[in-house]
């Protein structure tokens, strides 16, 4: 029987964990020690956590399986996890120490709609490249922000309590995004968003949510109230790739994630990704990767 991916709500997490540094059930900061992480509770996986989070490693090693892909984090690494990622499990070395920073959807929507503009390429890249290796200066900058955020959450009698917390959240999001954008050489982009950039951002957001179901440019253009030609031209003018290029790229990435899980049959993946049959999925995958799904699975096993 196919293993179901559970959805884990932020409120449910708060009720179970009862974190000390918690602002309005939307911003949570936790210091995590390896001695506190035990195999118990691992049976809740796989799950999608209905909040975004970052894990900043200060010491030791953290092994995370996400989207059926193993990652190893060591000192001065940052893991950024979105609501789209599937968490499959984790374990930590006994000497592990790090921070887990969690943001609810409400606070993220406020930040990205009102104050922080994240370039489209970076927003999509985080889905498939979730780890950033920081240099010493950048690492200590983030640690300072996290510690200030923790302290300010505790200062409940501060007249500007909400404002000082939101300032530190903005700082954290913008600094961590800056490090990620440097990694993909986007630091020179003009971040003042125009109408066509806004359209491209909304396309990328839809793509992350709907690429398993929607295969054609027209699926996205209809939702965005523009023509397929206009959408593709807009996306290409900003990214150098057409809307169809991005759709295919996202679908291949999702297919690879599904193929990493041994229990997923090729037929199951073809059905989940809305292909007419297994053969159509196989031809699509081989066209874009040079390998059949079975060959790819054998290569990574």
Give Dmax (Cα) for the chain: 63
Token pair 């921070």 in the structure block, residue: 99
Q: Quick one: which H or E segment has residue 47? A: strand 47-49
Least confident residue range of 59-63, 163-167, 250-254: 250-254
Q: Quick one: which H or E segment has residue 6? A: strand 6-8
pLDDT at 40 exceeding the cut of 80: no
In three-state secondary structure terms, 85 is coil
Extract the tokens encoding 294: 């079975």
Q: Taking residues 128-157, report their average pLDDT.
A: 95
CA 261 to chain centre: 19
CA 39 to chain centre: 24
Determine phi and psi for 93, rounding to 5 degrees. Answer: -70, 155
Extract the tokens encoding 263: 């229990």
Comparing 203 with 228, the larger pLDDT belongs to 228
Alpha helices in the chain (DSSP H): 10-17, 105-114, 120-128, 136-154, 161-183, 195-210, 217-224, 228-239, 243-259, 266-272, 278-289, 293-300
In three-state secondary structure terms, 127 is helix
> For residue 132, what are the β-bridge partners?
78
Comparing 75 with 7, the larger pLDDT belongs to 75
pLDDT at 29 exceeding the cut of 60: yes
pLDDT value, residue 1: 34
Please state, for a pLDDT cut of 70, what percent of the chain lies above it. 88
pLDDT value, residue 187: 45
Closest CA to 77 of 146, 134, 34, 125: 134
All structural domains of the chain, each given as residue ranges with its CATH number in brackets, are 6-183 (2.60.120.280), 195-300 (1.10.10.60)
Least confident residue range of 2-6, 33-37, 90-94, 237-241: 2-6
The whole-angstrom separation of Cα 200 and Cα 25 is: 31
Q: Are strands 52-59 and 97-103 parallel, antiparallel or unpaired?
A: antiparallel
Instruction: Name the average pLDDT for the chain.
Output: 87
Closest CA to 256 of 293, 210, 286: 293
pLDDT value, residue 5: 63
**Could you give the C-alpha distances from 198 to 12, 195, 231, 278, 283, in angstroms and in order?**
33, 5, 11, 36, 34
Q: What is the number of other CB atoms lying within 10 angstroms of the CB of residue 56?
A: 26
Q: Which residues contact 269 (CB under 8 A, 6 or more apart)?
A: 255, 258, 259, 281, 293
Q: Taking residues 119-133, report their average pLDDT.
A: 74
Q: What is the pTM of this model?
A: 0.71
* Rg of the chain on CA atoms, in Å: 20
Q: What is the pLDDT of residues 277-295, one digit of tens each?
A: 999 999 999 999 999 999 9
pLDDT at 124 exceeding the cut of 70: no
pLDDT at 27 exceeding the cut of 50: yes
Q: Taking residues 235-256, report their average pLDDT.
A: 88
Q: Taking residues 4-25, report their average pLDDT.
A: 86
pLDDT at 123 exceeding the cut of 70: no
């Amino acid at each position: 029987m196919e293993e179901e991916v559970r959805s884990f709500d932020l409120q449910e997490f708060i009720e179970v964990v009862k974190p000390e540094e918690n602002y309005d059930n939307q911003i949570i900061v936790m210091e995590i020690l390896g001695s506190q992480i035990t195999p118990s509770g691992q049976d809740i996986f796989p799950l999608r956590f209905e909040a975004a989070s970052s894990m900043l490693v200060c010491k030791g090693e953290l092994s995370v399986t996400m989207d059926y892909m193993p990652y190893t984090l060591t000192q001065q690494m940052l893991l950024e996890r979105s609501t789209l990622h599937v968490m499959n499990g984790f374990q930590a070395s006994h000497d592990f120490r790090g921070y887990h920073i969690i943001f609810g959807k409400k606070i993220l929507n406020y930040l990205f709609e009102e104050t922080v503009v994240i370039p489209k390429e970076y927003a999509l890249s985080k889905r498939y490249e979730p780890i950033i290796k920081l240099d010493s200066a950048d690492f200590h900058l983030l640690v300072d922000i996290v510690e200030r955020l923790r302290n300010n959450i505790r200062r409940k009698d501060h007249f500007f309590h909400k404002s000082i917390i939101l300032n530190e959240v903005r700082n954290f999001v913008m600094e961590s995004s800056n490090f990620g954008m440097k990694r993909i050489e986007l630091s020179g982009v003009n971040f003042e968003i125009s109408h066509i950039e806004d359209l491209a951002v909304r396309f990328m957001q839809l793509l992350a949510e709907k690429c398993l179901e929607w295969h054609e440019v027209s699926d996205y253009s209809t939702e965005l109230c523009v023509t397929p030609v206009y959408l593709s031209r807009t996306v290409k003018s900003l990214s150098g790739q057409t809307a169809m290029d991005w759709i295919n790229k996202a679908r291949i990435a999702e297919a690879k994630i599904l193929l990493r899980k041994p229990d997923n049959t090729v037929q199951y993946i073809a059905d989940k990704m809305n292909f007419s049959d297994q053969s159509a999925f196989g031809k699509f995958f081989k066209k874009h990767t040079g390998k059949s799904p079975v060959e790819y699975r054998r290569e990574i096993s």
